[in-house]
Amino acid sequence: MRITIDRDRCIGSGQCVMTAPGVFTQDDDAVVALLPGQEDGAGDPRVRDVPMACPVQAVTISGE
Amino acid sequence: MTETDIRPTGSPDLSFPQDRTCPYQPPKVYADGRGQGPLSRVELFDGRPAWMVTGHAEGRALLADPRLSSDWGHPVFPVVVQRTEDRGGLAFPLIGVDDPEHARQRRMLIPSFGVKRMAAMRPLIQDLVDRLLDDMLEKGPTADLVSAFALPVPSMAICELLGVPYGDHDFFEERSRDFVGAATSAEADAAFAALYGYLHGLVAKKQAEPGDGLLDELIARQLEEGALDHNEVVMIALVLLVAGHETTVNAIALGALTLLEHPEQLEALRNDPGLISGTVEELLRFTSVSDYMVRMAKEDIEVGGETIKAGDAVVVSISLMNRDAKAYEDPDTFDVRRNARHHVGFGHGIHQCLGQNLARAEIEIALGTLVTRIPGLRLAVPVDEVPIKAGHDAQGPVELPVTW
Ligand code: HEM
Ligand code: HEM
Ligand code: SF4
């Protein structure tokens, strides 16, 4: 699985962090970031729900 | 917007908004329209026709669509509540502007509302909630849960976040209470003028002697980018104050009422405190404290087999989207164990609530602590005697007499 984040779109809602806290975080500006080493989703099934949870389509997932 | 358009769906005679009869259910007359598809027709108080969006998927798609505008300053932006008809040419940051203006303002503010920052506010909120409950228990065994509990929590939290000096709390809280609770627009204007004046002075003071609240950060960021727009900082503070106040008061009070009216759910929560965050999401879905949002189409938009024309007024019904049977099984059942994900209690798209994680922390701590510390809590009057807000306000009880 590959997670792509669009930091320019992000509005800092925190939905991604709430949904999959082991994979997503926010940087000091409260903009989305991926936790180091977790860019492949870390096998967390909740990651699949993040694209729908994000209010501005800033997160996309490709691959299995 | 053309008067000659004939759109057969829904009832163009239904005037919007309607008052709720049950405090936590959407008005029944809207629900009657639920069978008719994701969009129906309503009429605003000034006679202007509007689309009412009730489908969960369609509403989310529309809220994410840049062709739907939130520009309150537009000369024909739809007006839903008469008292806001005359906005006096004031610019409303965030909630009342479109991108790119919106993105610029939001970027300056999100660091103050980040997930980590909100986690750091929790001990403060807990302490505040504990003190309010100590006080209530001492004065008991009856109280108005709105004024004794639901109101001071968000009010003090927002002062803390903005960096309002402790000595000014009383003035600040009283004026904001007058502002959101005003019966007439003259009263609201007076409170608004007092708050504006106060915040104007506060920003000047902070510029000279910086502290570490949100306003201080905002001033610093603006100076970094070039010049301080004094009026913009004051207006942002006002929007935060209004948006963060009445909504959260109602979420706490209506949340308590909903739990008391569903004793088996309340029991489940009391037995398993781990259910609290799911309970808060389900309350946000089920009660939809902010009942609707207003938009105007900038271009024609095809949705749900209809065409919303450029210039059309659109009301997006949060309460009915949150009760769409296509999105939630048994949508009218309050179930603290359900996964209420993707509810639109905080909206959707670029304007999705800036304060949502603060609100979550406040509601979670307030209700979680309330139900464990006062296990015998119950209504002091029959539920149908609890006075509730009008349909155009944030939804919730005006007062909530309780006993234990
Ligand atoms: C996200 C939600 C909201 C935001 C950002 C917001 C923002 C504002 C701002 C900045 C003003 C001051 C400008 C003026 O006086 O013309 C205002 C006016 C006002 N708002 Fe809101 N508001 C929100 C929701 C509410 C709610 C839920 C209520 C109802 C309880 C409410 C009640 C009022 C009243 C009474 C005025 C006085 C203005 C007048 O009489 O025209 N607002 N709003
Ligand atoms: C349970 C409590 C709350 C509810 C139900 C709520 C609901 C909402 C909704 C539905 C919107 C979207 C409005 C739209 O799209 O037109 C919104 C926006 C907003 N809310 Fe909240 N809110 C709550 C608490 C708060 C708090 C605590 C704050 C701040 C301290 C806050 C600040 C804002 C702001 C600034 C916006 C505008 C964001 C933007 O346009 O980017 N809200 N809120
Ligand atoms: S859910 Fe979307 S908008 Fe919210 S923080 Fe994550 S990426 Fe940003």
- In 3D space, the residue among A6, A24, A47, A11 whose CA is nearest the CA of residue B63 turns out to be A11
Q: Which residue has the tokens 């809280």?
A: B173
pLDDT confidence of B12, banded at 50, 70, 90? low
Among B71-80, B288-297, B341-350, B353-362, the least confident range: B71-80
**Cα B381 to the chain's mean position, in Å?**
26
The percent of residues above 90 in pLDDT, for chain B, comes to 53
In the A/B pair of chains, how many CB contacts fall below 8 A? 56
Our count of domains for chain A comes to 1
Describe the crossing of helices B185-208 and B214-225 by its angle, rounded to 10 degrees: 70
Residue B88, helix vs strand vs coil? coil
Residue B360, helix vs strand vs coil? helix
Among B65-74, B80-89, B348-357, the least confident range: B80-89
B82 has pLDDT over 70 = no
Whether chain A has a CB inside 8 Å of the CB on B352: the answer is: yes
Domains and CATH numbers, chain B: 88-288+330-403 (1.10.630.10)
B44 has pLDDT over 70 = yes
Predicted confidence at residue B8, as pLDDT, reads: 36
pLDDT, mean of residues B259-276: 96
B83 C-alpha to ligand 2 centroid (Å) = 20
- CATH no. for residue A28? 3.30.70.20
B110·A31 Cβ contact <8 A: yes
Among A23-32, B173-182, B204-213, B314-323, the least confident range: B173-182
Domain that holds residue A8: 2-62
Higher pLDDT, B394 or B48: B48
How high is the mean pLDDT of chain B?
Answer: 87
pLDDT, mean of residues B136-152: 93
B199 has pLDDT over 80 = yes
Q: Residues B108-130: pLDDT tens digits?
A: 899 999 998 899 999 999 999 99
State the ipTM, two decimals: 0.94
Ligand 2 pocket at CB < 6 A: B 70, 94-95, 106, 158, 239-240, 243-244, 247-248, 251, 289-290, 293, 345-347, 351, 353-355, 358-359
Q: Which residues pair with B317 in a beta bridge?
A: B292
Dist. CA A27–CA B138, nearest whole Å: 44
Predicted confidence at residue B4, as pLDDT, reads: 32
pLDDT confidence of B7, banded at 50, 70, 90? very low
Whether chain A has a CB inside 8 Å of the CB on B66: the answer is: no
User: Which residue in A26, A52, A55 is closest to B116 by CB distance?
Assistant: A26
pLDDT, mean of residues B339-365: 96
- β-strand B401-403 against B378-379: which pairing, if any? antiparallel
Q: Residues A7-16: pLDDT tens digits?
A: 999 999 999 9
pLDDT, mean of residues B22-50: 76
Q: Residues A5-62: pLDDT tens digits?
A: 999 999 999 999 999 999 999 999 999 999 999 988 888 999 999 999 999 999 999 9
Q: Are B356 and B346 in contact (CB under 8 A)?
A: yes
